[in-house]
Each structure stands twice: as C-alpha cells, then as structure tokens.
Amino acid sequence: MPEIILSINAGSSSVKASVFASPTSQASKTPTLLAEAEISGLTAPPSTLKYTRGDHHAKEETRDVTTQDAAFKYILDHLTSDSGLPEIAKKEDIKFTCHRVVHGGDFPHSQVIDEDTYHKIAELSDLAPLHNAPALAIIKTVSNLLPYSTNIAYFDTSFHHTLPPHISTYPIDQTIARQNKLRKYGFHGISYKFLVHTISNHLNKPKSDLNIIALHLGSGASACCIRSGASYDTSMGLTPLAGLPGATRSGSIDPSLMFHFTHQAGNPSHESSSEMHITQAEEILNKKSGWKSLTGTTDFGKISEVDREEDKLAFDIFVDRILNYVPSYFAKLDGKVDALVFAGGIGERGVKLRKAVVEGVRCLGFGIDEEKNSNPGKETVVDITREGAKYKTLICRTDEQLQMARRVLEERERLEEDRRRKGK
C-alpha cells in the first residue's frame, strides 16, 4: 500500500498543501502527486483557494480566512471531504506530515517534531516574525487533528549551512554575536534546493558543477548565489527581513533609520504575544512596509500593471534592489554562471519584472526572448534566453511541497530512527 505524505508550506501570504503517495517500488524516490491546494492572498483579502486533483480544478473565495492556520484548516477540510480523493478519506491514512519551517537556527537538517523540537522552533519565532509562529500553529493543529501522523520540520535555513564564515559573519562584537547566534542564516532554502535539483536535471549537469544565480521572488523575496550546487551567499540574513523588499517588508535599509522614524522603535510591539516578542521597529519593518506601504496593496501582479505613480515607484525599487545582487553574485561566481533563474509567485508570473531585470544585466551577457517570456507555457523549467545571449535565463516553477516529500523518501531511515528515539 502506498503511504500518504501531506506536505505543507506556510508562506507569509499563502498556505500551499500537497498530498502525495509514496511509490510502490522501493527503488523509486519520486512521490506521486494526488492533489494540491493553495490559499493565497492572505495579506490582500479576500483570499482564494485553488484546488487541483488530476484534471479537476476548483477555485473559490475564502472570505473569512486571514491566518495561515485558518487557511490550513480550510484546506484540510477540503481535502478530506473530497470524494475524489479516497486515499485520505480517513485522516489516519496520512502517514507523514511535512512542515516548512522558515527559521531553523542551527538545525542542519529536518527533524521529527517532538515537544523539544517544537520549543526550539518556538524560541526562534522572534527571528522570523511572519513565519515560525504560524507554522507552529499548523503543527499544533496537525497534532490535534491527525494524531497518527509523524510531523517533520523542514527548514528554510538548512540549505544555507554552507555559507562561508566571511559571508555569514556580521562585522560586530564577536563575543556577543556568538552568544546570541547573530549571523546570516538565509531563507527560502527548500525552494533553492528544489531549483538545484531541477536545473541540474534540465541542464544535464551534476549538482556539484552547477553555478546559478537564483531569485526566489514571492511575498518575501531573496536572491541566492549557488556555487557548485551549494549556497555561497544569499540576500536574507539573521531574519527574512534583510535584502530585497517584499509585500510588507522593507528589505535592507540603513539600520539607523528606525531611530529617526519613531522614538518608540525599541518598545514592545502591541502585536507581541506570549509566543513572540517583537519591537515596534520589527513590526513596522516586517508588517507595515514594502509594497503595502508604498502602494496600499501587496499584490505585485496589480503593481506591475503600473497604473499609478506609486506602482511605478514600487516596481522600479524592486528592479533596482534585485540589480544590487545579480551582478555581485555574477562576480562571486567569477562569471562562471550556468543560469539566472526566476522562481516564486512574482518570479514565475511577473513577465514585466523578469524583462526589466534581465535587461538591467544585459551588459553581463544576459538577454530575454520576449515571446517566450510572455508565454512561458506550463513546464517546470522554461528557457526564456534570447538567441545569441551568452548566459541562460530560466523560469523554474518551484515546489517546496514536492521537495519536502522527496526528502521524506530519501531520508526515510534517518527519520524513522529520529522518530523511534523521540518516541513519536
């Protein structure tokens, strides 16, 4: 009997969940997708549910859903009541549940979640104010509603454990930095790992030889310099606030700015709770900045239509900030670049943004084919390189849920051992 894996990706504006069946042959490590559901637009209500099971597609507005946990409960209800998905008609049939956890601190790889792991993830909540607490709420819900399932945490940070010290270290007092574990962690690592796997297959090049400049552009956006298949540098830092701006995030700013923005910068935010303590500065920069503060919307699709001056400004800021990274990573790769890769909600759907970014780095040898860029079809990887361009430009439809489910199959023995040890 195939085993069922439920894979959950709680982003800052969306929850995506996919149901997979394990392959019947022991040798295969490829899970089969049975159904996928996504509630998007949590920061731009009303949110919408998109549901796909084989050829069956459904779309509906979910007016009262505004948190990741509510979105997950809605999705779980939808999945388990779908008569076309008998595989999970009984909730006990879900053997593994994978959770994307954005901040994993020093965890080098996935963990079966027990009380201790749960608390370690909770301790990191202040360092990912839009992510860890919502993921923990979903983990709690799964423990209550699916008590037979083994919960596994996959961390965005694990992929970036290869960052060299001169890149991960902040030039600050090192005693305090070490005590408080203040360093660059990097995020979107599950997505970047998926990109490495997929692009390596697409280019028929071993992962260990693959150099890419990857842009994961969604509600949160980051760039990653991938050298020999591993993370060498990335734009996010101690928290997912650093680097590129996002839907409600400022991205990197002069650190002194906040003390001039408000005298309350260091005071606790009203949004602090017993689970998460953040300052007003952190609340403003994470939740009240970015596209929302500039344009009133978090929907980059709308902003890209550039109807108003403020949309144009937001669009131009994003392009400008991305252009701070691509040439710098190009130099760090010594010009040995296999591809510039666009992924994430904006990277995959933002036709105009891709064009502006690629044109911005044409002096390096990139070029975009306008027709392919405008009509990229449905393949996982789409080559949008202009004929004659020296370097490739690709779109890769990232799939963090699939990446986690694959890993469950690949590292099954270690996970079983971890599960036994933790008595789960």
Ligand X SMILES: Nc1ncnc2c1ncn2[C@@H]1O[C@H](COP(=O)(O)OP(=O)(O)O)[C@@H](O)[C@H]1O
Q: Does 304 bind ligand X (CB under 6 A)?
A: yes
Q: Which stretch binds ligand X (CB under 6 A): 10-18, 57-65, 111-119, 151-159?
A: 10-18
User: Residue 51 and residue 368: Cα distance in Å, rounded?
Assistant: 32
The partner in contact with residue 350, picked from ligand UVW, ligand X, Mg ion, none with C-beta cut-offs of 5 to 8 angstroms by kind, is ligand X
Indicate the residue among 80 and 162 with the shorter CB distance to ligand UVW.
162
Asked if residue 171 has a cis previous peptide bond (ω within 30° of 0), the answer is: no
CB of 11 to Mg ion, least distance (A): 3
Q: At 88, is the secondary structure helix, strand, or coil?
A: helix
Out of 31, 218, 237, 376, point to the residue binding ligand UVW (CB under 6 A).
218
Single out the segment in contact with ligand UVW by CB under 6 A; choices: 119-127, 168-176, 217-225, 254-262. Answer: 217-225
CB closer to ligand UVW out of 104 and 218: 218
Helix H or strand E segment including 34: strand 32-40
Among 249, 256, 244, 257, which Cα is nearest to 357's?
244
Task: For residue 231, state whether it binds ligand UVW (rule: CB under 6 A).
Answer: no
Closest distance between ligand X and the C-beta of residue 354, in Å? 10
3 state DSSP class of 201: helix
Q: Return the one option of ligand UVW, ligand X, Mg ion, none that residue 349 interacts with (CB less than 5 to 8 A, by type).
A: ligand X
Nearest CB to Mg ion, comparing residues 218 and 350 = 218
d(CA 388, CA 354): 18
Distance CA 203, CA 10 (A): 30
Do 49 and 43 touch, CB atoms closer than 8 A? Answer: no
Q: How many residues bind ligand UVW (CB under 6 A)?
A: 10
Least distance (Å) between residue 359 CB and ligand UVW: 25
Contact 91, 147 (CB under 8 A): no
The token pair at 40 is: 């998007």
Tokens of 174: 């090192």
CB of 62 to Mg ion, least distance (A): 18
Q: Which of 67, 156, 140 is nearest to 107 (CA)?
A: 156
Contact with Mg ion (CB under 5 A): which of 31, 134, 186, 218? 218
Does residue 251 have a known ligand-binding role? no
In angstroms, the CA 424 to CA 114 distance is 7
CA separation for the pair 80, 158 (Å, rounded) = 31
Residues contacting 186, CB < 8 A, separation 6+: 156, 157, 159, 160, 163, 222, 224, 231, 234, 236, 237
The smaller minimum CB distance to Mg ion, of residues 38 and 418, is found at: 38
> In terms of DSSP bridges, do strands 111-112 and 150-155 run parallel, antiparallel, or are they unpaired?
antiparallel
Q: Which among 69, 156, 299, 311 is annotated as catalytic?
A: 156
Contact 148, 92 (CB under 8 A): yes
12 binds ligand UVW (CB under 6 A): yes
Tell me whether residue 100 is annotated as binding.
yes
Question: Interface mask (CB under 5 A) for Mg ion, residues 9-38, using x and -?
Answer: --x---------------------------
Half-sphere exposure of 276 (CA within 13 A, CB side): 24
Q: Find the binder of ligand UVW among 38, 156, 348, 399 (CB under 6 A).
A: 156
In terms of C-beta density within 10 A (0-12 exposed, 13-18 middle, 19 or more buried), how is residue 311 classed? buried
Residue 156 binds which of Mg ion, ligand X, ligand UVW, none (CB < 5-8 A, kind-dependent) = ligand UVW
Task: Mark whether 254 is an active-site residue.
Answer: no
Shortest separation between residue 180's beta carbon and ligand X, angstroms: 27
16 annotated as belonging to a binding site for a ligand = yes
Among 4, 5, 11, 325, binds ligand UVW (CB under 6 A): 11
**From the list 164, 301, 335, 365, which residue makes contact with ligand X (rule: CB under 6 A)?**
301
Catalog residues that contact Mg ion under the rule CB under 5 A.
11, 218
Annotated binding site: 9, 16, 100, 216-220, 400
Annotated binding site for Mg(2+): 9, 400
Annotated binding site for substrate: 100
Annotated binding site for ATP: 16, 216-220
Annotated catalytic sites, by residue? 156
Catalog residues that contact ligand UVW under the rule CB under 6 A.
11-12, 102, 156, 187-188, 218-220, 240
